[in-house]
Amino acid sequence: MLDRFEEFTFLISRINKDIQKIKLHQLKKYGLNGSQMEFIYYLGKYKELSFKEFCKVLNYDKAFVSRNLNLLKKQNLLIENFNQNNKTIYSLNEQGIEIFRSNKQKTEQICKTVYLEDNKKDSFYNNLIEISNKLHKIGDDMS
Q: Give the pLDDT score at 10.
A: 93
Q: Give the pLDDT score at 43.
A: 96
Task: Read off the pLDDT of each residue in 113-135 and give the average, rounded to a whole number.
Answer: 87
Q: What is the pLDDT of residues 63-116, one digit of tens each?
A: 999 999 999 999 999 999 998 888 999 999 999 999 999 999 988 888 888 877
Cα 36 to Cα 52: distance, rounded to the nearest angstrom: 17
Kind and range of the H or E run holding 102: helix 94-114
Percent of the chain topping pLDDT 90: 57
Kind and range of the H or E run holding 5: helix 2-30
Cα 96 to Cα 68: distance, rounded to the nearest angstrom: 14
Domain span including residue 14: 2-142
Q: Give the pLDDT score at 138.
A: 92
pLDDT at 40 over 80: yes
Q: Domain of 76: which CATH number? A: 1.10.10.10
Q: Give the pLDDT score at 114.
A: 84
Q: What total of structural domains would you count in the chain?
A: 1
Q: Give the pLDDT score at 71.
A: 95
68 neighbors 39 (Cβ within 8 angstroms): yes
Q: Give the pLDDT score at 26.
A: 83
What are 112-118's contacts with CB under 8 Å, separation 24+? none
57 neighbors 43 (Cβ within 8 angstroms): no
Instruction: DSSP letter for 77, please.
Output: -
Q: Give the pLDDT score at 55.
A: 94
Task: Read off the pLDDT of each residue in 8-24 and give the average, rounded to a whole number.
Answer: 89
Strand 88-92 with 49-50, pairing? antiparallel
Mean pLDDT of all residues belonging to the chain: 91
